[in-house]
Amino acid sequence: MVKLRLEREAIAMRVARELRDGDVVNLGIGIPTLCSQFVPEGQTVLYHSESGVLGYGPMAELGQEDIDLINAGGQFLAPHPGMSFFSSADAFAMIRGGHIDVAVLGAFQVSEQGDMANWMLPQRGVGNVGGAMDLAVGARRIIVAMDHTDRSGAPKIVRECSFPLTGTGCVDTIVTDIAVIEVSDEGLVLTEGAPGWEAADVQALTEPTLTVSPDFGEMQL
């Protein structure tokens, strides 16, 4: 069977299935921002941004942009009934006060202990942490959405992060272009694989040893 890697939109679609009705969700830069396009039908998810907005909808369509309505990544958002606006200081107070149910973040590396590195690539020598460190300790659940390997093909799920850390032991779930992995006290548990990907295929591109869930199956979008 042909092994297919999921597109960015499909990763976001799978992450959106993890969200529950009434969740307050912060979306990081990159793949996570796409999640607002895929709110499960019949559910209300309140999306939050460090820029000072709560309850926004999908990204604005071309020609409908409002320069005063953006997310943390600078992308234009569509107006949504009930959305509210406040200062960035209040947005961070919500994070630090433990009022964010889920944060969906991108990452350069995730370790088998759930450590996350997502703010600086050492080879570039510069980085931008944004609100990631606050979210790593303030959000009740952290979902990482990322490609499984970097551009050179090296695993991004590693035994120990070699890049500067954003947070330690903070990641709960990893959704990549080939797998869904849960972080547990016993290590990493592989629960789903992309179409055509067997557990051994995913393990071959993952540095730490994965425990395969007895319910392992094809990724559901």
Within 5-87, residue ranges assigned H as helices are: 8-16
Contacts of 27 (CB under 8 A, 6+ apart): 33, 35, 36, 47, 49, 71, 72, 103, 104
Decide if 50 is catalytic. yes
Which of the 8 DSSP states describes residue 178? Answer: S
Active-site residue identified among 18, 50, 112, 192: 50
Alpha carbon distance 216, 58 (integer Å) = 31
Place of tokens 């990893």: 174
Of 65, 45, 176, the closest CA to residue 110 belongs to 176
CB 188 within 8 Å of CB 158:
no
Within 172-215, residue ranges assigned H as helices are: 199-204
Enumerate the active-site residues: 50
